[in-house]
Amino acid sequence: MRNIPVITKNLLIINVLMFAATFVFGRVGVDLKDILGLHFLLASDFHLYQLFTYLFMHAGLEHIFFNMFALWMFGCVVENVWGPKRFLFYYLACGVGAGLIQELTQLGSFYIMMSDQVPSFGVADLIEAGRVNSVALNSWTTVGASGSVYGILLAFGMIFPEERIFIFPLPIPIKAKWFVMFYAAIELFFALGTKGDNVAHFAHLGGMLFGYIMIRYWRGNGGNGNFGRNRGHQFFDRMRNSWEKHSHRKADDMYGNRRESDHEYNARKRKEQEETDRILDKIRRSGYDSLTKEEKQKLFENGRK
Of 50 and 286, the structure prediction assigns the larger pLDDT to 50
What is the spatial distance between Cα 187 and Cα 193, in angstroms, rounded to a whole number? 10
What would you report as the CA-atom Rg of the chain, rounded to the nearest whole angstrom? 28
Selection from 150-164, 185-199, 238-252 with the highest mean pLDDT: 150-164
- Residue 36: is its pLDDT beyond 70? yes
- What are the structural domain ranges in the chain? 6-227, 230-259, 262-305
Per the prediction, the chain carries an average pLDDT of 81
CATH superfamily of 6-227: Rhomboid-like (1.20.1540.10)
Query: What would the mean pLDDT of 245-271 be, rounded to a whole number?
Result: 61
Measured CA to CA in angstroms, residue 57 lies from 33, 60, 117, 143, 176 at distances of 6, 9, 33, 5, 28
The number of beta carbons lying within 10 Å of the beta carbon of residue 56 is 23
The whole-number pLDDT of residue 49 equals 95
Contact criterion met (CB below 8 Å) for 96 and 50: no
Query: What would the mean pLDDT of 215-230 be, rounded to a whole number?
Result: 67
Categorize the per-residue pLDDT at 10 as very low, low, confident or very high, splitting at 50, 70 and 90. Answer: very high
The whole-number pLDDT of residue 223 equals 44
The whole-number pLDDT of residue 298 equals 74
- Residue 18: is its pLDDT beyond 80? yes
What percent of the chain lies above the pLDDT cut of 70? 78
Of the candidates 48, 94, 49, which has an alpha carbon nearest to the alpha carbon of residue 206?
94
- Residue 232: is its pLDDT beyond 70? no
Query: What would the mean pLDDT of 106-134 be, rounded to a whole number?
Result: 83
pLDDT tens-digit readout, 184-212: 888 888 878 776 667 788 899 999 999 99
Measured CA to CA in angstroms, residue 31 lies from 19, 21, 207, 277, 285 at distances of 12, 10, 26, 72, 83
Give me the amino acid identity at 105. Answer: T
